Amino acid sequence: MDNLIQAALEVRKLAHAPFSRFKVGAAIEDEKGRVFTGCNVENATYGLTICAERVAVFKAISEGAAKLKRVAVVADTDDPTPPCGACRQILWEFCGDAELIMANLAGKQETTTIKQIFPRPFDASFL
């Protein structure tokens, strides 16, 4: 099993999802091969909830990662689950057209790129 998917599987177990019970794990690899993980953390107000992908990106940036090149997302769904819209925006801004691996607990995987799931992103080029 890919080490990035394994890292996402492991961190998924730490998700704080008492309301939705929808636990998600994410792992991001930088150009140096370092892996940064994140899990979703829910809040009773829902609007303050943060997704696993954003946790992983922010953690990578806060630990000095510069170029993020691969992302893995794991959830307990029949089909691999893609990142939400907010996460797609953050992934585009910090990872660019990185490889995206989506997987479920049964081992089903899909590999694509951020650009394929987010074809017309908004970024700094519009500012």
* Confidence tier at 102 by pLDDT (50, 70, 90): very high
CA atoms of 33 and 109, how far apart (whole Å): 21
* Confidence tier at 69 by pLDDT (50, 70, 90): very high
- How large is the average pLDDT for residues 51-65? 98
- Inform me whether the pLDDT recorded for 1 exceeds 80: no
pLDDT at 122: 93
pLDDT at 36: 98
Annotate 42-72 with DSSP letters as a single string: --TTSTT-B-HHHHHHHHHHHTT---EEEEE
**Cβ atoms of 9 and 25 closer than 8 Å:** yes
pLDDT at 119: 94
pLDDT digits (tens, 9 = 90+) for 5-51: 999 999 999 999 999 999 999 999 999 999 999 999 999 998 899 99
* Catalytic residue of the set 53, 63, 93, 110: 53
Average pLDDT, the chain: 96
CA atoms of 16 and 118, how far apart (whole Å): 27
CATH assignment, 3-126: 3.40.140.10
Smallest Cα–Cα separation from 110: which of 77, 86, 85, 87?
77
Does the active-site annotation cover 53? yes
pLDDT at 103: 98
Backbone angles phi, psi at 64, to 5 degrees: 90, 10
Q: What is the DSSP letter of 16?
A: B
CA atoms of 47 and 31, how far apart (whole Å): 32
